[in-house]
């Protein structure tokens, strides 16, 4: 014979204030856990969405990242004739010579300064990067720029076609706004390569991105380029692999989120244990009566664990519901602009955390109560 669930519910209702406080504490833990995990996963997803299996980045082999070194523009005369490069419908090699840098950009009367990624491109870029879609306006011409939709996040304001931004030495009109399937490109400014040369006093090329005929050619293309005596300073890496190396920052966010959630969960467990111990202290005669009526030690333990789990699940549901408010929220972290996406799986993880808190908070008090001697419990006043 087991103790009815309504008995546990009635017991919780008699201690409304303490029950509510613990429930809110667990809800906060679950909310932070879900938010941190979703942030890390969304950031990693944005990074992993960046790039294509068909694209290869050619950069200066002396530097780890494209913004730290330049190639001579003469390399284009060699690269565009390499075997395996796809060609456009006009039979032109899909090769995108680019400048790339990260700079402080000022905007507005208060001159708000924001750290942004800037890419100097030619029209060929829009064939090499087919995932780039202009959602407003047009492609940039000389004196104009095009911004990713997440650039607005960095400035905490929306931009419209026709607004101006000071990029480098000059103000540039925004010709269009683009998106790229949630990739980190959406946090960049794209401008004409020649304008970028003048604005930032850059000479040469930061990188050359080429589109291959098929992903299967990538390894042989990279190997052949490394052996090409006409490109002694050049190095090649798959675009997907290059951006995946930037995903380490999302791992840091994930680890920190887990650490914070664990520490808060431990606090919630101790809070739950304290509540259950107080509950037991006030119900010793009641527990003795239940034992005298024939309920076993395991029945007592199960009933008290049920109370703890009910509190925890209420907190878990509340925390999960609260976390929905950050779903779709645009954020900029470690120079990566992205939108937070909370998946059903992450919500399920949050509920599992609440269950663990409930078990941890109710197990020891439940064991303590179940081991009481019937006679001593009935004598208690």
Which of 110-114, 320-324, 326-330, 342-346 bottoms out in mean pLDDT, i.e. has the lowest?
110-114
Q: How far apart are CA 171 and CA 162, in angstroms?
A: 12
pLDDT of res. 255 = 72
**Beta bridge pairs of residue 59:** 235
Give the pLDDT band (50/70/90) at residue 235. Answer: very high
Name the more confident of 157 and 70.
70
pLDDT of res. 247 = 59
Name the more confident of 6 and 338.
338
The conformation of residue 293, written as its DSSP 8-state character, comes to T
pLDDT digits (tens, 9 = 90+) for 292-303: 655 566 676 677
Report, as an integer, the average pLDDT of 231-260.
76
Q: How far apart are CA 94 and CA 124, in angstroms?
A: 7
- CA torsion sign, 331 to 333 to 337 to 342? negative
Report, as an integer, the average pLDDT of 127-149.
91
Give the pLDDT band (50/70/90) at residue 208. Answer: very high
pLDDT of res. 121 = 94
**Res 231 pLDDT > 80:** yes
Contact between residue 98 and residue 207 where contact means Cβ atoms under 8 Å apart: yes
Report, as an integer, the average pLDDT of 43-57.
82
Report, as an integer, the average pLDDT of 78-93.
91
Element of type H or E holding 172: strand 170-179
**Res 337 pLDDT > 80:** no
**Percent of all residues in the chain with a pLDDT value above 90, rounded to a whole number:** 27
Q: How far apart are CA 294 and CA 302, in angstroms?
A: 15
- DSSP-H helix ranges across 52-109: 76-79
pLDDT of res. 377 = 45
Q: How far apart are CA 352 and CA 243, in angstroms?
A: 32
Contact between residue 281 and residue 370 where contact means Cβ atoms under 8 Å apart: no
Q: How far apart are CA 36 and CA 46, in angstroms?
A: 15
Tokens read off for 307: 């109370």
Strand residue runs (E) in the chain: 55-60, 95-107, 112-121, 133-137, 144-148, 164-167, 170-179, 188-192, 207-211, 234-238, 330-333, 336-339
Tokens read off for 217: 């050619």
Q: How far apart are CA 132 and CA 125, in angstroms?
A: 9
Name the more confident of 209 and 373.
209
pLDDT of res. 341 = 87
pLDDT of res. 35 = 86
- The 3-state DSSP class for residue 199 equals helix
Report, as an integer, the average pLDDT of 264-280.
66
pLDDT of res. 379 = 56
């Amino acid at each position: 014979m087991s103790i009815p669930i309504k008995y546990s519910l009635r017991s919780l209702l008699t201690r409304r204030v303490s029950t509510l406080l613990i429930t809110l504490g667990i809800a906060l833990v679950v909310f932070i856990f879900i938010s941190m995990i979703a942030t890390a996963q969304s950031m990693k997803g944005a990074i992993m969405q960046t790039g294509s299996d068909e694209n290869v980045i050619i950069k200066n082999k002396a530097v780890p990242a494209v913004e730290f070194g330049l190639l001579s523009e003469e390399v284009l005369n060699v690269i565009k004739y390499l075997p395996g490069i796809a060609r456009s419908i006009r039979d032109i090699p899909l090769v995108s010579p680019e400048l790339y840098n990260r700079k402080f950009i000022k905007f507005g009367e208060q001159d708000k300064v924001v750290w942004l990624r800037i890419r100097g491109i030619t029209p060929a870029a829009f064939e090499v990067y087919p995932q780039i879609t202009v959602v407003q306006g047009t492609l940039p011409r000389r004196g104009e720029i095009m911004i990713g939709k997440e650039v607005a996040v960095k400035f905490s304001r929306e931009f419209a076609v026709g607004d101006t931004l000071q990029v480098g030495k000059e103000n540039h009109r925004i010709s269009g706004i683009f998106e790229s399937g949630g990739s980190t490109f959406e946090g960049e400014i794209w401008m004409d390569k020649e304008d970028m040369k003048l604005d930032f006093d850059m000479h040469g090329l930061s990188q050359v991105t080429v589109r291959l005929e098929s992903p299967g050619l990538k390894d042989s293309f990279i190997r052949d380029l490394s052996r090409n005596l006409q490109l002694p300073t050049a190095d090649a890496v798959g675009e997907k692999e290059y951006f995946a190396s930037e995903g380490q920052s999302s791992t840091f966010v994930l680890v920190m989120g887990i650490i914070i959630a664990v520490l808060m969960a431990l606090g919630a467990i101790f809070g739950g244990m304290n509540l259950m111990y107080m509950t037991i202290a006030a119900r010793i005669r009641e527990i003795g009566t239940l034992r005298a009526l024939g309920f076993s030690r395991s029945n007592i333990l199960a009933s008290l664990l049920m109370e703890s789990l009910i509190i925890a699940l209420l907190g878990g549901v509340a925390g999960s519901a609260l976390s929905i408010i950050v779903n779709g929220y645009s954020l900029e972290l470690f120079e990566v602009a992205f939108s937070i996406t909370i998946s059903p799986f992450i919500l399920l993880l949050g509920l599992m955390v609440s269950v663990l808190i409930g078990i941890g908070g109710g197990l020891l008090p439940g064991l303590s109560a179940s081991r009481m001697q019937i006679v001593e419990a009935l004598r208690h006043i």
